[in-house]
Copies of this chain bind each other. A is one copy, B any other.
Amino acid sequence: MTEPLRLGIAGLGTVGIGVIKIVQKQAELLTARTGRQITITAVSARSRDKDRGVNLSKFAWEDDPVALAKRDDVDVFVELMGGSDGPAKAATEAALALGKHVVTANKAMLAVHGQALALEAEAHGVQLRFEAAVAGGIPVIKSLTESLAANQITRVMGVMNGTCNYILTRMESAGLPYETVFDEANALGYLEADPTLDVGGIDAGHKLAILASIAYGTQVDFNGIEIEGIERVSIEDIRYAGDMGYRIKLLGVAQMTGRGMESRMSPCLVPANSPLGTLEGPTNMCILEGDSVGQIVLRGAGAGEGPTASAVMGDVCDIARGINLPVFGQPSTTLRQAPAARSTVAAPYYLRMELADKPGALAKVATLLGEAGISIDRMRQTGHTEGSASVLIVTHRCTRDALDSALDAMPGTGVLTGTPVALRIEKV
């Protein structure tokens, strides 16, 4: 038996406490499986006195996470503070510079500074691991990096923000508008301090940027992602989409195209009976597609104490077992900078337009779409109220550019009584 593997944990929120509980409860199992004892030597958090329901007296305490990361008795720095910069980044850099492994759940830090941190980790021959940063307990990083290593990845997709999926499915099941359910979710503590991170699609965008880097051998490029949140998804569109056999999900999709990397995080329609369509509440789902393996669907809890701590500890076990991998699946010096390609992949779209209830209104809209080269797959007009009617259109595959040109010309017809809604229908 080799020496124990000693952890220093910075950040004692839900996940940090979950990690401590696993190390204590499963000590025997961890040693049996990794061949090493796994221990915690020191911890750090903002408040030393807060009651966290766990006895911390056996661990050394550091007020400063950087000091924790530098301790001689820490082999693996476990970063669970969050935030793309500040103490998380400073402490991670300090640990890597001293040749210590780092395990983190920090998607923001990786999405923004992943390339620099990976270079640093690989220069020092240490591991920087982050299974917990994407989709909580779901083993998506490992599956993509290792299991699918012999595949050219053709598409990566995911519903990776549980709060958004909770809001969307709750709107549907309770028939409530976005604002009401948002307030409910807030009262339940489901939202980040800055809710835009969740409902604005930023948190999920961070995760997509990480997956795309591994999938396509590119440098993490969070700024290259087209991001649209769920704030403007209406209960009407959820209902109409449902009537046509679809559900609306905040879906991240990354594909490599001839023009560069196309990555989007946006509300999309998916078939209601597909795995994505059946996803309820805060559950997450990642879909990996490769040229040999076809489609792999991974589903599980995307957050929470147990699932996220399980992912953190999975990485710790890999390190205890001596597994040694490049941070993003290939040496970071070889990762390419791919240009961001915006919406080049054609798709069918769901359109909803409120039209004035007068003769020829529908014809004008249909003509405009036709002129933009967009053909109509299905159309439905719902009962009209107060002089306007909702017209629902599912188009055949078209480019976003063609669609935007048609939408731009729409107000000129003089028949719209509201702003049109256009949502992509992703083939899954």
What are 7 A-B residue pairs whose CB atoms fall within 8 Å in the complex? Answer: A22-B150, A26-B152, A131-B147, A149-B313, A151-B310, A291-B306, A323-B325
In the complex, the answer to whether A217 meets B275 with C-beta atoms within 8 Å is no
- Convert A137-174 into 0s and 1s, putting 1 for each residue whose CB lies closer than 8 angstroms to a CB of B: 11100110011111110000000000000000000000
Q: Which residue of B lies closest to A131 (CB)?
A: B147
A residues at B contact (CB < 8 Å): 18, 22, 26, 29-30, 32-35, 131, 137-139, 142-143, 146-152, 217, 273, 275, 278, 290-301, 304, 306-307, 309-311, 313-314, 316-318, 321-325, 329-331, 334
Contact residues in B for A143 (Cβ distance below 8 Å):
139, 142-143
Which residue of B142, B299, B309, B318 contacts A297 across the interface (Cβ within 8 Å)?
B299
**A33 touching B149 in the complex, CB below 8 Å, given contacts A18-B292, A291-B306, A293-B307:** yes
Contact residues in B for A330 (Cβ distance below 8 Å):
32-33
In the complex, the answer to whether A298 meets B297 with C-beta atoms within 8 Å is yes
Q: Which residue of B lies closest to A279 (CB)?
A: B275
Contact residues in B for A278 (Cβ distance below 8 Å):
273, 275, 278
Interchain nearest-CB distance for A245 vs B (Å) = 14
Contact residues in B for A138 (Cβ distance below 8 Å):
296
**A296 touching B150 in the complex, CB below 8 Å, given contacts A273-B278, A275-B278, A310-B290:** no
Contact residues in B for A147 (Cβ distance below 8 Å):
131, 139, 142, 311, 314
Contact residues in B for A310 (Cβ distance below 8 Å):
148, 150-151, 290, 292-293
